Amino acid sequence: MGGQVAAVREPTGAIDTNRMDLAAVGTAAKLARVFAKHTAKKWQLSTATCEMAEFVISELCGNAIKATGTIATVGPRDEPTQIINLRLALLKTRSIMIEVEDADLATPKIQDGLEELAEGGRGLFIVQALSKQWGFYHTVNGRKVVWAEIEAIRANSPGEVR
Ligand SMILES: Nc1ncnc2c1ncn2[C@@H]1O[C@H](COP(=O)(O)OP(=O)(O)OP(=O)(O)O)[C@@H](O)[C@H]1O
Ligand SMILES: [Mg+2]
């Protein structure tokens, strides 16, 4: 976990990195999933790893959109559209570091005591379950990064890559 203020961290021991900026609008999570798939292919990751990365990326981007996004409207808007930065790194430690930066300073928090039948509120709980570790920090330029590190398993053969 985290919560401290720091410069945007460069992941240590990165074999390769890939990053994308997304407008914080409803279609961003879908674009982020396509980006995840493309990156998983480039890194020759197994189908299971690709699916896990897609889920975590989609969830973290979904949260960032909820926190900072604009619902599409027709006509002029008062506020400019916010930008979400998605950064992926393949680490030597056989992990993928997923980082999603947004402009909201509120603290991401796993929700306790959810009603059994509650429809939402489990996103971060599942991110935690799928990750080796996760956390967040605030950046010196007034933004926030939520990150999760997941296990990277390479595909056994090129045919396994989706
Ligand atoms: N990037 C973020 N910025 C600000 N607050 C966040 C962010 N991510 C999560 N949170 C806070 O943490 C809470 C829990 O997030 P979580 O993803 O578990 O649930 P949810 O997004 O509310 O519901 P669901 O993921 O099921 O749609 C959110 O309701 C929100 O208050
Ligand atoms: Mg969520």
User: Which atom of ligand 1 is nearest to 120's Cα?
Assistant: 26
Give the pLDDT band (50/70/90) at residue 119: confident
Average pLDDT in the chain? 90
CA distance 17 to 90: 6
Cα 62 to ligand 2 centre (Å):
6
What are 48-91's pLDDT values in tens digits? 999 999 999 999 999 999 999 876 566 666 778 899 999 999 99
| pLDDT value of position 101 | 97
* Nearest C-alpha neighbor of 150 from the set 106, 96, 76: 96
CA distance 19 to 9: 14
Task: Answer whether residue 1 shows pLDDT above 60.
Answer: no
Cα 96 to ligand 2 centre (Å):
20
Domain range enclosing 23: 5-160
Residue nearest ligand 1's atom 9 by CA: 108
Q: Which residues contact 80 (CB under 8 A, 6 or more apart)?
A: none
Residue 112 in 3-state DSSP?
A: coil
Residue nearest ligand 1's atom 6 by CA: 108
Residue 102 in 3-state DSSP?
A: strand
Decide which of 75 and 24 is more confident. Answer: 24
Average pLDDT over residues 107-115: 86
Ligand 1, from 124, 134, 138, 146: best to mutate by most atoms within 8 Å of Cβ?
124
Task: Answer whether residue 3 shows pLDDT above 70.
Answer: no
Q: Is 119 exposed, middle or buried (0-12, 13-18, 19+ CB in 10 A)?
A: exposed
* Cα atoms found within 13 Å of the Cα of residue 45, Cβ hemisphere only: 26
Ligand nearest to the CA of 122: 1
Ligand 1 neighbours, Cβ below 6 Å, are 63-64, 66-67, 102, 104, 106, 108-111, 120-125, 146
Decide which of 5 and 149 is more confident. Answer: 149
Question: How many separate domains does the chain show?
Answer: 1
CA distance 158 to 154: 10
User: Which atom of ligand 1 is nearest to 111's Cα?
Assistant: 14
CA distance 60 to 84: 10
Residue tagged 């999570």 (tokens): 29
Average pLDDT over residues 89-118: 91
pTM: 0.91
CA distance 24 to 60: 12
Distance linking the first and last C-alpha atoms of the chain = 32
- Which CATH number fits the domain that encloses residue 70? 3.30.565.10
Whether the CB-CB separation of 125 and 110 falls below 8 Å is answered with yes
| pLDDT value of position 162 | 65
Give the largest Cα separation in the chain, rounded. Answer: 51
Residue nearest ligand 1's atom 3 by CA: 67
User: Which atom of ligand 1 is nearest to 68's Cα?
Assistant: 3
